[in-house]
Amino acid sequence: MEEDQKENNGKRGKGISRRGFIQMVGAGALATTLTDVGKALPVEAAEVAEKGEMAHVSLQVNGRRHRFKIEPRWSLLDLLREKLGLTGSKLGCGRGECGACTVLIDGQPRYACMTLALEAEGTAITTIEGLLKGDELGPVQKAFWDHDAMQCGYCTPGQIMAAEGLIRINPNPSMEEIRQGMSGNLCRCGSYAHIFKAVEQAAKIKRTV
């Protein structure tokens, strides 16, 4: 306390003290904050689903229409695996980083773990199972088999779906475009050289079909 008084006495006639300056700046910051808050526009409260509340959803998966009653928080991946038994789409990271859960939504590759099932209503969803023609492999699946483009196989369904989506968008991709198009799918076994060759062959096959 004595040191404060000495500091204040020493600063009299020479302007504001250090402590006074800090107090003044703090008060000014608080006043600015309060003023900004007063100017903020009101935000409408988001609609929040009650715990346990269920939602109805109708999805078209691999050409067939399905209706479900689910919790709004369910991801598309949850629904595919738990409700339809389509376990080809894998749960890897669960946060949109590895691509093991890749499916096609209206022909575009999407991470099923990052897509709410309710978001997918009104779209056409294709999973790895939807590329089969009866018991016959599709062109991309066959190319992956021919080029041994897998090791553990866990990422393979997502890799194939990413490749299928890429070729639908770009039927004649260059090797650089293939690398870029497949960059959202990780292979922990490091089979990228085989994967890229498989995608290149699949594109050639699909152009001749």
Strands 124-126 and 108-111: unpaired
At position 119, the amino acid (one-letter code) is E
Please indicate, yes or no, if residue 166 is contained in any of the structural domains: yes
Please indicate, yes or no, if residue 126 is contained in any of the structural domains: yes
Q: What is the pLDDT of residues 119-134, one digit of tens each?
A: 999 999 999 999 998 8
Please indicate, yes or no, if residue 119 is contained in any of the structural domains: yes
Provide mean pLDDT across the span 168-172: 97
Identify the residue with better confidence: 191 or 22: 191
Please indicate, yes or no, if residue 114 is contained in any of the structural domains: yes
Say how many domains are in the chain: 1
Please indicate, yes or no, if residue 190 is contained in any of the structural domains: yes
Please indicate, yes or no, if residue 177 is contained in any of the structural domains: yes
Please indicate, yes or no, if residue 32 is contained in any of the structural domains: no
Six-digit token string for 37:
């808050």
For the ranges 47-56, 145-154, 194-203, which has the lowest average pLDDT? 47-56
Identify the residue with better confidence: 18 or 195: 195
pLDDT at 133: 86
Q: Which of 192, 162, 185 is nearest to 93 (CA)?
A: 185
Q: Which of 73, 56, 59 is nearest to 122 (CA)?
A: 59
Please indicate, yes or no, if residue 144 is contained in any of the structural domains: yes
Confidence of residue 37 (pLDDT cuts 50, 70, 90): very low
Domain that holds residue 109: 55-208
Six-digit token string for 3:
């040191």
| C-alpha pair distances (Å), 123 with each of 41, 61, 105, 200 | 36, 9, 6, 28
pLDDT at 86: 97
Six-digit token string for 94:
């669960």
- How many angstroms separate the CA atoms of 75 and 117, rounded? 5
pLDDT at 143: 97
Q: What is the pLDDT of residues 87-117, one digit of tens each?
A: 999 999 999 999 999 999 999 999 999 999 9
Backbone dihedral angles phi then psi of residue 117, each to the nearest 5 degrees: -55, -40
List the CATH number of the domain containing 83.
Answer: 3.10.20.30
